[in-house]
A and B are shown apart, each in its own frame.
Chain A
Amino acid sequence: MIRSVRHLSTLRSTPRVAVVGAGPAGFYTAHRLLKLQPDTKIDLFESLPVPYGLARHGVAPDHPEVKNCQDTFDEVGNDPRVQFFGNVTVGDTLPVSKLRDNYNAVVLSYGTHTDRKLGIPGEDLPGVISARTFVNWYNGHPEHESLNPPLHKAETVTIVGNGNVALDIARILLSPLDHLKSTDITQQAYETLKTSKVKRVRIMARRGLLESAFTIKEIRELFKLPDTGFVAFPHTKWDDVLAAHKSYKRPLSRIVKLIEEYNLKAKQRDPAHASTLKQWSLDYLLSPKEVIANPDDPELVKTLIATENKLVSADGSGRIGVEPTGVTESFDTDLIFTSIGYASTPLEGIPFDDRKSVIPSSRGRVTDNGVYAAGWVKNGPTGVIATTMADSFDTAQAISDDITAGKLDGAKSGSDNLTQYLEDAISWDQWKKLEAHEHSQGDAAGKPREKVNNVAKMLEIARQ
């Protein structure tokens, strides 16, 4: 019986799968699918000439251990069943309809490409910088090569939002330079940080401490930064938190305990010593209302006006929301970083939920004829690498189940039929050549790699 099933499966044509976006979601979906369906051939399409997505352009340079996931991605890239096509933008140079015609399954894992907006007056001033732009800049994303944030004249900075991206930005701004020197932060960003005058970072959130979006590792790192002091909470707010915290689950109660410990230390700190430190604070229950321009310097802003909020849980879902109190506060600030979430953009002919800005799916199935989604474009921009991995495995399982059930049958020729669209593509070997260049440039500077942050240069080196 088993023998006859095997025999049948060899009669089937090889499933051809296209993966759109070579970030963690794309690689982990491919990784799992190759395990579940070893006969599959996978083509990975990436709009940049370089792979790894947010593992390269999102993960903070001082978190090298998190980037070890790239070892698994390299196993996928080196696999003879996988082809990489960098520098190919699906939906632009390569229409998505061509993928649907030439593959048994198309996985959309292209992530997020824009920012959620605050929707307030002054948001478009040059002194208001999106977190995504800033993070991409210090991580060498070619789209933001020329950001050049005016840190040399900014003393006070406000970060709106308190997820891990917000905390990464705070840490990069407050870290001693020797923490960053031997990381893969771009030389350009390092030189700019050298001139930074930032002395105070305010991390502002709409909701309360118990609704904080950061995870404990990132807040602990901020507390532990040398020559940096957390600014203690005013008494009243902290008492409110303590009144409730003991009944919360372990992750939250550990966070509260940690903050309690450092809040006490901050209160006991000698004021003379405190004045020598760079400062940072967690400011809760505030919604930005308006940004006031700096009349003396168009690169900076002057003031952030925010409305005080109170917590409400009115809709019965258990989710805590906020209501404005009508009281406003003004905060002097030189720059503002908005870190309130990334957003995905739609692809022509593919369903898209404009409100959530995701591709709607059921366990990764977007349509019943071979279109799947994985990662942030499927779930929204949340979670750590492990979350994306687990989610991508779910999508891979759905594809595998559909292959086994015969839902995706039919002989397809994949990229063999798309050569006219792939003339400018960068292969995996060419990427590895570019990477070798980055490693050798890094060696000279005493860092793991010096990223090339310009597409023309990437192409030139990869094609040498």
Chain B
Amino acid sequence: MLRTFSRQVLQVSRAVPRTFRPVAPATRLFQTSAPVFHGHVHKPKPGEEIKVTFITKDGEQIEVDTCEGDNLLDIAQANNLDMEGACGGSCACSTCHVIVDPEYYDKLEEPDDDENDMLDLAFGLTETSRLGCQVCMSKDLDGIRIALPAMTRNLQASDFN
């Protein structure tokens, strides 16, 4: 029951557009649930940094100190990495697709149906693919490595005609 409820709250909070404009009272009720502060990340307190290493599509490794609770899309954008969030981090597109180091993948909460539905549309889906906007940092993820796939689709023979 609790799980169903929290899922519902999550979905409603996702559906709220980024430039939130309160409308009907029913929607307002959910304004208190975590709003999306897109592109904003928190500064970790000294000693509480959670380290993430991003591997760009060119193979460059970039280590970043992150704060518990921030998600990978916001973290990547705050660090000027090449990651788009077309739907503003609301789990409605696949543009923030990342590939998670298999050693850490099982430490993440399992993706829900909504996330899996979007992952199905991602280019180059792998066994450890996730949406960056849905992966939030926690202490046991310290040291996690995240690969950023090429954003464009794979080239096709017809592209060279």
Contacts and interface: CB of A to CB of B under 8 A. Distances in A.
Interface of A: 63-69, 71-72, 181-182, 215-217, 220, 250-251, 254, 362-363, 384-387, 389-391, 393-394, 397, 439, 442-443, 446-448
Interface stretch (B50-58, B65-73, B134-142, B153-161): B153-161
Interface string B91-124: 1111100000000000000000110111011110
A394 B117 contact: no
A443 B91 CA distance: 26
A389 B19 contact: no
A384 B88 contact: no
B130 to A, nearest CB: 14
Given A254-B120, A390-B123, A391-B153, A63 B21 contact: no
Given A65-B17, A66-B87, A251 B92 contact: no
Contacts of A67: 17
- Residues of B in contact with A, size category: 35 or more
A251 B121 contact: yes
Q: Provide the main secondary structure of the chain A interface.
A: helix
A390 B152 contact: yes
A43 B38 CA distance: 28
Interface of B: 14-15, 17-19, 21, 23-24, 27, 84, 86-88, 90-95, 113-114, 116-118, 120-123, 125, 151-153, 159-161
A69 B88 CA distance: 7
B88 A71 contact: yes
A448 B125 contact: no
A26 B21 CA distance: 27
B92 A65 contact: yes
A386 B86 CA distance: 7
A66 B93 contact: yes
Contact of A250 (B23, B84, B93, B125): B125
Contact of A64 (B17, B118, B121): B17
B123 A65 contact: no
Contacts of A69: 86-88, 93
B121 A362 contact: no
Contacts of B88: 65, 68-69, 71
